């Protein structure tokens, strides 16, 4: 064991003797990731609207119920609002040029209206329920919400749809609760929302943020981990063999198994540390996103319980071991550095594809997916964020990935020893 | 000290790289392997240093075989090739400490050995410089110092003076002669005639994976009916090389 630690310490020493190498492995990927998470939405916005800033949603003649709804609903606070009266809106439309320019830059307008002969929006809804509950089945409400945006702007269109789905539908249900609740058949509110309970509030944030994280975080972690494993295996195995330094190590009175074990231990430790730093930064990124930018890939409030966190923390080194085994197997099968480099990069395509599939996936994983090495880690982390993991899934992923890693390493080293 | 008996090596089924090589190297002897590129010198050296396994035949180092006593053999051999490139960001000091730990050299002995070795090769002024900042000759000296850190009785040098300037080359060859005097068994592969002529007590000429002639420099000249060692080599090569 002491010889394994000697090699392990040597590899760490090598890494930290070059601050550039250390930064490239530990911080650069995470920093680049942070930057891209924030720049990517901005770029899409710029390409679509010609502006980096997102326009606030313009709310015309907002009723009190809408103010209250925004105040008390996490999903609704994702957007920035600008409230104006109908008169202000009219003068805005009259200044045609500026209005058209704003629309082109992604402005979304949400107008609350009722028939001019009727009272305000809230009263109109309240009257409607009163009519309904007094037995008038043909009661009609003239209250309407109009959403306007530039149909040529992809961002505006998608934001308007998101706003409709994420805010207005919830608001619509809220109206039944707030304004129609007293008149419902059972005589009580349809929805119980404890707006004063911080735990409930926090849970609401967490649900939204973790659902987004389940799409983004696992794929990102897998790509980052593979990038690190690939760089380290290239350096510690392929490059050292190419330089002849490996031969020098292999003729010391330390068994091959111990030398390789020391190197593998170093790779798994470095990659795990790098993944933990990345994860920490992802959490940090979520928790500083208090303004909840609608385009952000990581909304505010991402959180794992201690047991969920432990599940992910254990999955990372096991997966790093499997990735290392695969990279070593590729390295030992090939001789020329150029071939090795190209072949080591190939799995990155798989991880990228898996990442994007996860991003846009609308279904939950099927059991069979837990039997696919590495893909199962992605699903495990994703399901952990969704708080949907089953214990046997977790154990299966750990055991399967570890077993496959050990088998690949044994096979590779046995083959190499026979040469 | 080193005994090879009918050693064969094939990488593929239809081609044999080493075809039944046998020889013996005694203590206090420098044995030279001379041959053109592709003759199988490096393969043979790698098999002797246990980096490769022979397809058939046996290699014994001080009566030990790699099947049973691999790590014990490693304590007895020092292997050096000019192809070894040390980690560019390490320092000679760190490399020496690392290999000393792998060879179980006690800490109280380590500093003494390091000082002696660094002084011999003039490494002291560069001991804490990064390898990348050093000259080729200096890197080779560090490689030698590390290879012989455990004072092995058997030394295997594959083209030790390749790419070195005359001064460094001389330092290396002088050191080899000194080791020979101390009783080390040394195998040396080279394609530089002057090095072979100056250092080797016995030379085996390897052509197409076979030893085609073996003996002292004078014996080889006599076999090849040549007045110089260089001519002897060419005569033997022409006679045995198959196109």
Pairwise CB contact (< 8 Å): B84 & A244: yes
Provide CB contacts within 8 A for B117, sequence distance 6+: B96, B123, B145, B148, B149
Q: How far apart are CA B49 and CA B70, in angstroms?
A: 10
> What is the tens place of the pLDDT at every residue in B136-173?
888 888 888 888 888 889 999 888 777 677 887 888 88
Percentage of residues in chain A with pLDDT exceeding 90?
23
Pairwise CB contact (< 8 Å): A247 & B98: no
Q: Check if the beta carbon of residue A129 is closer than 8 Å to that of residue A180.
A: yes
Pairwise CB contact (< 8 Å): A10 & B74: no
Our CA-based measurement puts residue B235 at a distance from the nearest CA of chain A, in whole angstroms, of: 34
The chain A residue lying nearest B53, using CA atoms, is A419
Mean pLDDT of B98-103: 91
Strands B2-12 and B77-81: unpaired
Pairwise CB contact (< 8 Å): B53 & A250: no
H helical segments located in A251-390: 256-288, 306-333, 337-359, 375-385
Per-residue tokens: B237: 């090569």
Is the per-residue pLDDT at A198 higher than 60?
no
- Which one, of B214, B220, B176, lies nearest residue B198 by Cα? B176
Mean pLDDT of B77-101: 85
Q: How far apart are CA A163 and CA A76, in angstroms?
A: 8
Mean pLDDT of A256-273: 94
Q: Which of B77, B86, B130 sits opposite A245 (nearest CB)?
A: B86
Q: How far apart are CA A287 and CA A300, in angstroms?
A: 5
- When pLDDT is cut at 50, 70 and 90, the band that residue A291 belongs to is low
Is the per-residue pLDDT at A184 higher than 50?
no
Q: How far apart are CA A17 and CA A29, in angstroms?
A: 19
- At what angle are helices A28-49 and A154-163 packed, to 10 degrees? 100
Query: What is the phi/psi pair of residue B55, to 5°?
Result: -70, -40
Strands B210-215 and B154-158: unpaired
Mean pLDDT of A213-238: 88
Q: What is the mean pLDDT of chain A?
A: 82
Strands A57-60 and A108-113: parallel
For testing the chain A interface, which of B48, B98, B128, B155 should be mutated: the one with the most A CBs within 10 Å?
Answer: B98
Mean pLDDT of A39-51: 65
Interior CA angle at B54 toward B49 and B57, to 5°? 110
Is the per-residue pLDDT at A187 higher than 60?
no
Helix (H) or strand (E) holding B207: strand B202-207
pLDDT score of A272: 94
Pairwise CB contact (< 8 Å): A18 & B147: no
- When pLDDT is cut at 50, 70 and 90, the band that residue A293 belongs to is low
Looking at per-residue pLDDT, the higher value among A152 and B7 belongs to B7
Contact residues, chain B, for A14 at CB < 8 Å = 87, 89-90
- When pLDDT is cut at 50, 70 and 90, the band that residue A141 belongs to is confident
Residue with tokens 């260089």: B230
Per-residue tokens: B55: 């397809």
Q: How far apart are CA B84 and CA A244, in angstroms?
A: 4
Q: How far apart are CA A158 and CA A262, in angstroms?
A: 51
Provide CB contacts within 8 A for A111, sequence distance 6+: A60, A61, A86, A89, A145, A146, A147, A148
The chain A residue lying nearest B49, using CA atoms, is A251
Contact residues, chain A, for B85 at CB < 8 Å = 243-245
Query: What is the phi/psi pair of residue A375, to 5°?
Result: -60, -35
Our CA-based measurement puts residue B104 at a distance from the nearest CA of chain A, in whole angstroms, of: 9
Pairwise CB contact (< 8 Å): B51 & A254: no
> What is the tens place of the pLDDT at every residue in B102-130?
998 888 888 888 888 888 888 888 888 88
Residue with tokens 């990731």: A33
Hey, how many other C-beta atoms are within 10 angstroms of the C-beta on B110? 16
Contact residues, chain B, for A245 at CB < 8 Å = 84-87
Q: Which of A18, A21, A245 sits opposite B85 (nearest CB)?
A: A245
Provide CB contacts within 8 A for A50, sequence distance 6+: A104, A105
Q: Check if the beta carbon of residue A307 is closer than 8 Å to that of residue A387.
A: no
Q: How far apart are CA A73 and CA A78, in angstroms?
A: 9
Is this prediction's ipTM beyond 0.95? no
Contact residues, chain A, for B102 at CB < 8 Å = 3, 6-7, 249, 252-254
Our CA-based measurement puts residue A413 at a distance from the nearest CA of chain B, in whole angstroms, of: 13
Pairwise CB contact (< 8 Å): A251 & B71: no
Cβ-count burial of B132 within 10 angstroms (0-12 exposed, 13-18 middle, 19+ buried)?
exposed
> What is the tens place of the pLDDT at every residue in B44-68?
988 998 888 889 899 998 888 888 8
Q: Which of B75, B77, B101 sits opposite A6 (nearest CB)?
A: B101
Count of A–B CB contacts within 8 Å? 66
Mean pLDDT of A341-359: 87
Pairwise CB contact (< 8 Å): A14 & B87: yes
Looking at per-residue pLDDT, the higher value among A32 and A108 belongs to A108
Q: What is the mean pLDDT of chain B?
A: 85
pLDDT score of A196: 47
Looking at per-residue pLDDT, the higher value among A300 and A231 belongs to A231
The chain A residue lying nearest B78, using CA atoms, is A251
pLDDT score of A157: 77
- Which one, of B226, B184, B185, lies nearest residue B205 by Cα? B226
Say yes or no: B97 contacts chain A, CB-CB below 8 A: no
Pairwise CB contact (< 8 Å): A253 & B87: no
Q: How far apart are CA A20 and CA A93, in angstroms?
A: 56
Is the per-residue pLDDT at A192 higher than 80?
no
H helical segments located in A136-255: 154-163, 169-178, 198-233, 240-243, 245-250
Looking at per-residue pLDDT, the higher value among A133 and A419 belongs to A133
Q: How far apart are CA A172 and CA A201, in angstroms?
A: 20
Q: Check if the beta carbon of residue B102 is closer than 8 Å to that of residue B150.
A: no
Pairwise CB contact (< 8 Å): A243 & B85: yes
Say yes or no: B58 contacts chain A, CB-CB below 8 A: no
pLDDT score of A179: 62
Q: How far apart are CA A269 and CA A260, in angstroms?
A: 14
Pairwise CB contact (< 8 Å): B98 & A254: no
Is the per-residue pLDDT at B20 higher than 60?
yes
Looking at per-residue pLDDT, the higher value among A388 and B241 belongs to A388
Mean pLDDT of A186-193: 37
Mean pLDDT of A264-291: 86
- Which one, of A102, A56, A247, lies nearest residue B48 by Cα? A247
Q: Check if the beta carbon of residue A21 is closer than 8 Å to that of residue A29.
A: no
| DSSP assignment letter at A301 | T
pLDDT score of A408: 95
Is the per-residue pLDDT at B35 higher than 80?
yes
Is the per-residue pLDDT at A81 higher than 50?
yes
> What is the tens place of the pLDDT at every residue in A144-164?
888 888 877 767 777 787 788
Pairwise CB contact (< 8 Å): A17 & B89: yes
Contact residues, chain A, for B84 at CB < 8 Å = 243-245, 247-248
pLDDT score of A193: 40
């Amino acid at each position: 064991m002491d010889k394994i630690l000697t090699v392990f310490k040597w590899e760490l020493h090598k890494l930290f003797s070059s601050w550039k190498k250390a930064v490239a492995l530990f911080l650069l990927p995470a920093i680049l990731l942070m930057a891209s998470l924030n720049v990517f939405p901005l770029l899409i916005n710029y390409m679509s609207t010609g502006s980096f800033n997102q326009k606030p949603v313009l709310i015309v003649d907002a009723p009190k119920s809408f103010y209250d709804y925004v105040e008390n609903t996490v999903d609704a606070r994702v957007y920035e609002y600008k409230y104006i009266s109908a008169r202000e809106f009219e003068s805005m439309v009259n200044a045609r040029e500026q209005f058209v320019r704003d629309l082109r830059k992604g402005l979304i307008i949400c107008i609350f209206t009722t028939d001019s002969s009727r009272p305000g929006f809230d009263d109109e809804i309240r009257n409607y329920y009163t009519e309904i509950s007094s037995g008038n089945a043909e009661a009609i409400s003239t209250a309407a919400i109009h959403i306007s945006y530039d149909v040529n702007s992809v961002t505006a269109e998608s934001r308007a749809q998101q706003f409709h789905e994420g805010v207005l539908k919830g608001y619509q249900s809220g109206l039944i609760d707030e304004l129609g609740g007293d008149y419902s058949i059972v005589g009580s509110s349809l929805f119980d929302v404890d707006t004063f309970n911080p735990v409930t509030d926090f849970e609401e944030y967490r649900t939204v943020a973790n659902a987004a994280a389940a799409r983004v975080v696992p794929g990102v972690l897998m790509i980052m981990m593979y990038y690190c494993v690939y760089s380290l295996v290239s350096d510690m195995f392929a490059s050292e063999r190419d330089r002849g330094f490996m031969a020098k190590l292999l003729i010391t009175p330390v068994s091959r198994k111990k030398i390789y074990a020391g190197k593998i231990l170093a790779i798994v430790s470095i990659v795990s540390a790098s993944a933990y730093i990345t994860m920490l930064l992802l959490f940090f990124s979520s928790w500083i996103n208090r303004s909840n930018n609608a385009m952000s890939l990581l909304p505010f409030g991402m959180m794992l319980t201690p047991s969920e966190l432990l599940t992910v923390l254990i999955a990372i080194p096991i997966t790093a071991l499997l990735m290392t085994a695969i990279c070593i197997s590729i390295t030992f099968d090939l001789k020329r550095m150029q071939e090795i480099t190209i072949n080591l990069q190939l799995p990155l395509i798989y991880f990228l594809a898996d990442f994007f599939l996860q991003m846009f996936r609308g279904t939950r994983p099927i059991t069979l997916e837990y039997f696919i090495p590495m893909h199962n880690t992605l699903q495990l982390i994703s399901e952990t964020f969704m708080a949907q993991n089953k214990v046997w899934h977790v154990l299966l992923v750990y055991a399967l990935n570890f077993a496959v890693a050990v088998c690949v390493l044994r096979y590779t080293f046995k083959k190499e020893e026979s040469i | 000290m080193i005994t090879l008996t009918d050693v064969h090596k094939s990488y593929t089924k239809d081609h044999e790289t080493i075809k039944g090589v046998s020889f013996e190297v005694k203590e206090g002897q420098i044995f030279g392997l001379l041959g053109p590129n592709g003759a199988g010198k490096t393969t043979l050296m790698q098999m002797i240093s246990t980096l490769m396994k022979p397809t058939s035949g046996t290699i014994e180092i001080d009566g030990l075989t790699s099947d049973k006593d691999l790590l014990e053999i490693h304590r007895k051999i020092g292997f050096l090739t000019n192809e070894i490139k040390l980690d560019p960001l390490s320092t000679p000091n760190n490399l020496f400490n690392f290999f000393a730990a792998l060879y179980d050299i006690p800490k109280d002995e380590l500093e003494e050995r390091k000082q002696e070795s660094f002084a011999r090769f003039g490494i002291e002024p560069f001991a804490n410089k990064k390898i990348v900042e050093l000259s080729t000759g200096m890197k080779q000296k560090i490689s030698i110092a590390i290879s012989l850190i455990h004072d092995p009785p058997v030394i295997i040098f594959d083209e030790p003076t390749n790419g070195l300037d005359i001064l460094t080359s001389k330092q290396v060859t002088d050191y080899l002669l000194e080791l020979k005097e101390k009783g080390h068994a040394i195998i040396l592969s080279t394609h530089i005639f002057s090095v072979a002529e100056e250092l080797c007590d016995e030379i085996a000429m390897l052509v197409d994976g076979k030893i085609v002639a073996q003996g002292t420099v004078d014996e080889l000249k006599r076999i090849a009916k040549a007045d110089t060692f260089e001519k002897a080599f060419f005569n033997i090569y022409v006679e045995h090389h198959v196109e």
